[in-house]
Amino acid sequence: MSNDLVLDINDLDVQYYTDAGIVYANNKVNLELKAGERLGLVGESGSGKSTLALAILGMIKPPGGIAGGEILLNGRDVTKLSEEETRQVRGREISMIPQGAMNSLNPVMRVKDQIIDSMIDHELGLSKAQMEEMAGDALEAVELNRNVGDMYPHELSGGMKQRACIAIAIAMKPKVIIADEPTSALDVVTQRQVMQTIRHIQSEMGAAVILIGHDMGLMAQFVDRLAVMYAGQMSEVAPKQEAFRSPMHPYTQMLIESLPKLATKGEFHGIPGITPLLRDLPPGCVFNPRCPQAFGPCTKITPKFLEHRPNQWVACHLYENESEKARA
C-alpha cells in the first residue's frame, strides 16, 4: 500500500443472503483513496454505493456479509477487526455524514449532547467541560454558533440540521469522511452552502472525503476524482477532468450525456433500460443489455478492471486490444 493512501479496497465482495438467492451488492470492487483527496462515487440507485460505504464503516449486518476481499484503512484491514475494534475506528478514524439529516438527529436530545454522545462512546477520557468545548469547536467548524448546541433539532432549519450532522461526524477529527448524498432534500442555495462547509472542514482538517451521489453537476464542482459504479461493480475510476472530457466506459459516457445542456435546451437524454437485479446479473459485462457499443465478448466474458490510460481505470472490452498494443 502506497504511503499516501488512507483507504485501499481490493476485490471486495459484499453479499446478502435471501430466500430468492444471493444478492451481489458489491462484486470484486477495487478503489483507492489518497490523503486529503475528494472522491466522487456515482451511479444509479441500486448500484452498490451505499453498501460500499457501510462495508468501509463495518456496518454490514446479517443477512449481509463480506464474502471476500480487504478494506485497508491506514494499512489495517478493517474486515478482520472485532465489533468493538470497528466501533472504536468509527468516528475517530473514519466517519459518515448521513443521508437525510431530518431523520438522523435524535429529536429529544440537544445538539451538543448528540455530539458529546459519540465522544463518551469512544471513552476518550475527557472531562464534561472538555467534551463541551470540543462540541462547540465542531459547531464553529461548520459555521454554526456555539449556542446552537443548546437547541433541539426541531428548532433548526434543514441546512442547520445537515451542518449539525457534519459537526457530529468531524468532532473527533477523522481522516476519512464519507458523505452519503449530504444535500438531498435541501434547496439549491442551501446545497451550495453545505458543500462549501464540507470543502472548508476538509481542507482545514486535511481529511479525505468520499462524496456519494447522483448529481454529476455537483461532482464536477467538488471532487478531484470520479468513481462510477454499476450493478455492484466498479465501471470506471478517473481524474475529474478526464472523466468529464474523455470518459471511456459507455455507462460513464451516457451518464454525462444525460446532463442537461444550455445548447440543447429542453432536450433530455436518459439511459434506456433498467439496472439488473443484483441476484440475477447478466453474463459477461453487467452493462451489456443496455450498452449501445456492446459486441461479441460483452455477453460472455466479464471485463477486467484495468488501467487503460494513465490513472484511468475501466472495466470494458472496448479497450482491451488497445491496451495490449500499448503494453507491447
pLDDT at 325: 46
Decide: residue 220, CB within 10 A, 0-12 exposed, 13-18 middle, 19+ buried.
Answer: middle
Written as one letter, the residue type at 119 is M
pLDDT at 1: 45
Per-position pLDDT tens, the chain of length 328: 455 899 999 999 999 999 999 999 999 999 999 999 999 999 998 899 999 999 999 999 999 999 999 999 999 999 999 999 998 999 899 999 987 766 789 999 999 999 999 888 887 788 999 999 999 999 999 999 999 999 999 999 988 998 999 999 999 999 999 999 888 778 888 888 889 999 998 888 999 999 999 888 889 999 999 999 999 999 999 999 999 999 999 999 999 988 777 777 767 778 899 999 999 999 999 999 999 999 999 999 999 999 999 999 999 999 986 655 444 4
pLDDT at 58: 93
- Containing 171, the helix (H) or strand (E) segment is none
Residue 179 β-bridge partners: 97, 211
Written as one letter, the residue type at 113 is D
**Structural domain boundaries of the chain?**
5-93+174-327
State the Cα–Cα distance between residues 42 and 218, nearest whole angstrom.
11
pLDDT at 263: 72
Chosen CATH of 5-93+174-327 out of 3.40.50.300, 3.30.1330.10, 3.40.50.1700, 3.40.50.11900: 3.40.50.300
Question: CA torsion 44→45→50→51, rounded to 10°?
Answer: -100
Using DSSP, state whether 33 is helix, strand or coil. Answer: strand
State the Cα–Cα distance between residues 124 and 52, nearest whole angstrom.
28
Q: Are 317 and 285 in contact (CB under 8 A)?
A: yes
pLDDT at 324: 52
H helices within the chain, ranges in order? 49-56, 83-89, 101-104, 111-121, 128-141, 158-170, 188-205, 216-222, 240-245, 250-257, 320-327
Residue 109 β-bridge partners: none
pLDDT at 60: 94
